[in-house]
C-alpha cells in the first residue's frame, strides 16, 4: 500500500480491484482499496463486478464539491465510451414529526422532491458550464 500511496502523488487516476487476500473488511471491499481510497492524493476508482462496455456511466451526486468532481469525471468517461451519463441524487425524505410517525410534518405532504431536484440540477449545471 505505501507504494500505491506514493504513486498517487503524480497520478491522474489510481485504479484498484475490490478484493484482497481475505479478512472481515474484504467481505465488502478490499482493505487495501479502502485505505488507499482514503489516503490517495488523486482520484481512486475501485473496480468490481462484470464490466458492461455498452452500459451507461452512473454518478451519484449530493451537492458537494467532491460529488461535482465525480460527476465531471463520469461525464468525461461517458464521452470517451460514447455512452449515456446518468446522474443520481437521493435523499432520506423524512416527512414525519418525530412525535408520531403517522402524522405528516404539515397538513400538506412534503416529500422534498422539488428541493432535491434543484440540488441535482445545480450540480449538473455547475459541472457542465
Radius of gyration, alpha carbons of the chain: 19
* Rounded CA separation 17/5 (Å): 15
Helix, strand, coil in percent for the chain, rounding step 5: 40, 15, 45
Identify the band that residue 41 occupies on the pLDDT scale cut at 50, 70 and 90.
very high
User: What is the pLDDT of the chain when averaged over all its residues?
Assistant: 78
* Rounded CA separation 68/36 (Å): 21
Q: Which residue has the higher pLDDT, 3 or 95?
A: 3
The arithmetic mean of pLDDT across residues 2-12, rounded, is 92
Going by C-beta distance under 8 Å and a sequence separation of 6 or more, which residues neighbour residue 3? none
Amino acid at each position: 500500500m505505501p507504494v500505491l500511496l506514493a504513486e498517487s502523488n503524480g497520478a491522474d487516476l489510481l485504479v484498484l480491484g475490490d478484493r484482497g487476500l481475505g479478512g472481515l473488511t474484504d467481505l465488502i471491499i478490499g482493505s487495501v482499496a479502502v485505505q488507499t481510497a482514503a489516503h490517495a492524493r488523486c482520484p481512486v476508482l475501485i473496480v468490481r463486478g462484470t464490466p458492461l462496455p455498452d452500459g451507461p456511466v452512473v454518478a451519484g451526486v449530493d451537492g458537494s464539491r467532491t460529488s461535482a468532481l465525480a460527476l465531471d469525471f463520469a461525464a468525461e468517461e461517458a464521452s470517451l465510451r460514447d455512452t449515456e451519463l446518468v446522474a443520481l441524487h437521493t435523499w432520506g425524505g423524512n416527512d414525519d414529526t418525530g412525535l408520531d410517525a403517522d402524522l405528516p410534518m404539515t397538513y400538506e405532504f412534503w416529500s422534498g422532491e422539488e428541493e432535491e431536484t434543484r440540488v441535482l440540477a445545480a450540480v449538473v449545471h455547475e459541472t457542465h458550464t
